[in-house]
Amino acid sequence: MSKLLYVGQQIADDLKSNIAENLTRYKDGDFLDFEAAGDWRIPLSFDADLDGLKGLTAEGGSEKEIQNSITVGYALGKLTPTLARENRIWVRLSHIECLDYSRKRWLQTNMADEKLAKDVSKHFFAPTLTGCRDDHAISRLWWNHHIAKQIMPDNPARALKKILALADIRQGLVERPGIGARPILGRGIIRLLEREERLIEGKLFRQFIKKLNLIGAGIAFEVWNDGKIDQFLEKCLEQAERT
């Protein structure tokens, strides 16, 4: 274990402004000479398992995404949602500890420089909540695990298996915190997904979430038991199928 580090604001700004000049570093080099000389080592007050991040795999597929999310979630287990919005933490990780993974997972180094620069900007920097939650190579994995752990604290892997099965499901549970932040409702959705495989097909889940938001507006789900939650979600699914 070691202190989680972040870069100074000027370092983050300079890196973002000089992506084109540093493309060769993003393609097959590193930033260790920069890190040794600049304001790259500002410590936070808690430890992180940075060695654990070496286990990230750049292969695609939902199973790898699940494992990567768990890896980052446990390695950065003391990170809070407020701190997880800090761009400078993620800039440090994607340029130093997780550079190799970030490059292999999100960059095609043989593409045109203009397109490569856009991909670097998208996946190596997290200046907005949306970018942090959905696009940054490492922070998106942390948010996956964070929402899964909120929904199923004792078994986040079970939740992740369904959250990452389809882009629409991730959008519904991770990108709409009003749902993901209500554990009893999130658990019900995971149970429904496990029972009803057809929810993962086509656009049905998107319609289901629309019906859930419409019918469920103002309902205090937290006072319901699991059986009542399941009945309500089945009703939303039935209406979604008739849409």
Contact between 149 and 156 under an 8 Å Cβ cutoff? The reply is yes
Q: Which pLDDT does position 35 carry in this prediction?
A: 97
| pTM greater than the 0.85 cutoff | yes
Q: What is the pLDDT of residues 160-210, one digit of tens each?
A: 999 998 888 888 777 665 665 688 999 999 999 999 988 987 789 989 998
Question: What's the chain's average pLDDT?
Answer: 93
pLDDT: which is higher, 13 or 213: 13
- Tokens 């948010």, located at residue: 143
Q: In the chain, pLDDT over 90 holds for what percent of residues? A: 78
C-alpha distances in Å from residue 212, one per residue of 5, 37, 45: 41, 53, 41
For 4-49, the DSSP string reads: EEE--HHHHHHHHHTTGGGHHHHHH---HHHHHHSS--EEEEEEE-
Q: Which residue has the higher pLDDT, 138 or 213?
A: 138
Residue 154: which pLDDT band, with cuts at 50, 70 and 90?
A: very high
